[in-house]
Amino acid sequence: MHAFDVLGDPVRRRILALLADGPQSAGAVTDVVRAEFGISQPAVSQHLRVLRDNGFASVHASGTRRLYAVDAAPLQEVDVWLEQFRKFWNQHLDALATELARGRRRPPATHTADSAPTDPSTPHRTEQDTV
């Protein structure tokens, strides 16, 4: 299963977002997800398995609990894939920010995607992934 397929499911995205705040027991995750999506415990467990099997999460048994934690590798792959498109927003925002910020030195290089960190200060009405 490709990374993007794994991330295609809103439940799994939510689980990862939960785990982003630190490791959580399967039960804790299940409670939140059940409340928000109204699905069964096995359904959540199956999603956790998909995350495990595809390297998005690692598990650490602690008694009868399973502690899940984010494993970043596949997410980073996604980040890398996205690289080829960053120029599309860098092009615009850079042309703007860059030209303004610096004393306007020279026109920015052809389009070699110079690495400016993504600007999260523009929430874009990203609708918080509640989808």
Partner DNA sequence: ACAGTATATAAGAACAGACTTATATAGCAA
Partner DNA sequence: TTGCTATATAAGTCTGTTCTTATATACTGT
Kindly state whether residue 26 participates in binding DNA, applying the rule CB under 7 A.
yes
Q: Which of 58, 66, 77, 98 binds a copy of itself (CB under 8 A)?
A: 77
Q: Which residue is listed with tokens 């598990």?
A: 59
Closest by alpha carbon to 48, among 18, 73, 75? 18
| Rounded CA separation 33/19 (Å) | 12
Judged by CB under 8 A, the stretch of 24-32, 37-45, 99-107, 119-127 that binds a copy of itself is 119-127
Query: Is residue 70 left, alpha or beta, with left meaning phi > 0 and alpha meaning psi from -120 to 50?
Result: beta
| Rounded CA separation 107/100 (Å) | 12
Binding mask 64-103 for DNA (x = CB under 7 A): xxx-------------------------------------
| Rounded CA separation 87/81 (Å) | 13
Q: Which of 38, 103, 117, 123 binds DNA (CB under 7 A)?
A: 38
Kindly state whether residue 83 participates in binding a copy of itself, applying the rule CB under 8 A.
yes
- Minimum CB separation of residue 64 from a copy of itself in Å reads 27
| Rounded CA separation 24/17 (Å) | 11
Q: Is 98 helix (H, G, I), strand (E, B) or coil?
A: helix
Q: Which of 32, 37, 86, 98 binds DNA (CB under 7 A)?
A: 37
Binding site for a copy of itself (CB under 8 A): 2, 4-5, 7-8, 10, 13, 16-17, 20, 70, 72-73, 75-86, 88-89, 115-118, 120, 123-124, 126, 129, 131
